[in-house]
Amino acid sequence: MCEANVYIDRNGQEKLFMEQANIIIFHKDGTLFIENIFGERKTIAARVKEMKLVEHKIILEESW
Amino acid sequence: MCEANVYIDRNGQEKLFMEQANIIIFHKDGTLFIENIFGERKTIAARVKEMKLVEHKIILEESW
């Protein structure tokens, strides 16, 4: 399947935030709604830095 | 493979922008750098609205 793991980049350290994310909705208020294939849902105030889909990897940077 | 097709949403009409995108870099100036598995590269002033990875779909909205 083609979902991706979502990581948060904190000072160069990538911490896993959600596994196997499928849906990401980018709200105009700067928050991201993320849902994975197991139905887990999270919202986070962060921006996407980079996506490497073939590597199943999405890297976020938190916004304060 | 797990790349995704990138579409631009223009008034509810989704127009294909790039097939089989693999890497997307989100620049702080609001532009997106997109590269697909064939090495095609494009930069666009747009924001991501939504991603449905299992459907291999990324929807952009152009910023003026």
Sign of the CA dihedral with A53 first, then A54, A56, and A59 last: negative
Task: Give the pLDDT score at B1.
Answer: 64
- Residue B32 or residue B64, greater confidence: B32
Q: Please indicate whether, in this complex, the C-beta atoms of B53 and A25 are within 8 angstroms of each other.
A: no
- From A5, which residue of chain B is nearest by alpha-carbon distance? B53
Summarised one tens digit per residue, pLDDT across range A3-58 is 899 999 999 999 999 999 999 999 999 999 999 999 999 999 999 999 999 999 99
Domain ranges of chain B: 4-62
Q: Tell me what the mean pLDDT of segment A60-64 comes to.
A: 85
In sequence order, what E strands does B11-56 have?
A: 13-26, 31-36, 41-52
Task: Give the pLDDT score at B61.
Answer: 96
Q: At B2, is the pLDDT very low, low, confident or very high (cuts 50, 70, 90)? A: confident
Residues of chain A contacting B, Cβ within 8 Å:
1-4, 21-26, 37, 47-54, 56
Q: Please indicate whether, in this complex, the C-beta atoms of A53 and B4 are within 8 angstroms of each other.
A: yes
- Taking phi over 0 as left and psi of -120 to 50 as alpha, with beta for the rest, B38 belongs to alpha
Task: Give the pLDDT score at B63.
Answer: 81
Q: Please indicate whether, in this complex, the C-beta atoms of A54 and B22 are within 8 angstroms of each other.
A: yes
Summarised one tens digit per residue, pLDDT across range B12-57 is 999 999 999 999 999 999 999 999 999 999 999 999 999 999 999 9
Written as one letter, the residue type at A43 is T
A44 forms bridges with which residues in the sheet? A32
Interface test with A, best of B5, B24, B53, B61 (most A CBs within 10 A): B53
- Residue A11 or residue A1, greater confidence: A11
Task: Give the pLDDT score at A14.
Answer: 96
Measure CB to CB from residue B2 to each of A23, A25, A53 and give the nearest one: A53
Measure CB to CB from residue A2 to each of B21, B47, B56 and give the nearest one: B56
